[in-house]
Amino acid sequence: MKSIVHWFDKLEDHIRARLSHYPIIYSLIGGVGIVLFWKGVWETAELTIYLHGPASILLGVIIMLTTGLLVSFFIGDNIILSGIAREKKLVEKTEAEVLEEHATLADVMEALEHMNTKMEQFARKHNHEKTH
């Protein structure tokens, strides 16, 4: 079972990497997949006597609220965060802008690691001086 999950994970990484360069095609393929998934959910729910109209809405809202998905599904965390920061949406950014942000984050991580190393050295020196 683990090997099957691993294979699908690698396949997903490969496909996502390829399609990320073509956001419109990516969104169309993803849209078809989502619609077909929800079509199956809809048809399955219709087989259940209690899942019609308001009962479906209520159960769906309860599930999404309790799992924390209501806002992120309908609005999206990235849209909320980019709106607060007045940034472009990811799909509006060029590949160069995304790569520049990635490089900036890498620089910040490198600086943090350097600071952490210096703090550890200081702590070791400070602890060594206390013992002598």
**Domain range annotation of the chain:** 94-132
Distance CA 24, CA 97 (A): 18
Note the pLDDT tens digit of each residue in 73-93.
Answer: 777 666 666 667 666 666 666
Distance CA 75, CA 87 (A): 16
Q: For a pLDDT cut of 70, what percent of the chain falls above it?
A: 84
Distance CA 43, CA 48 (A): 9
**Strands, DSSP E only, in the chain?**
none
Please name the amino acid found at residue 72.
Answer: S
**Strands, DSSP E only, in 1-48?**
none
CA atoms lying within 13 Å on the CB side of residue 36: 6
Note the pLDDT tens digit of each residue in 42-68.
Answer: 999 889 888 888 888 999 899 988 988
Residue 50 confidence (pLDDT): 85
String of DSSP letters for 31-48: HHHHHHHHHHHHHHHHTS
Q: For a pLDDT cut of 90, what percent of the chain falls above it?
A: 25
* pTM, two decimal places: 0.47
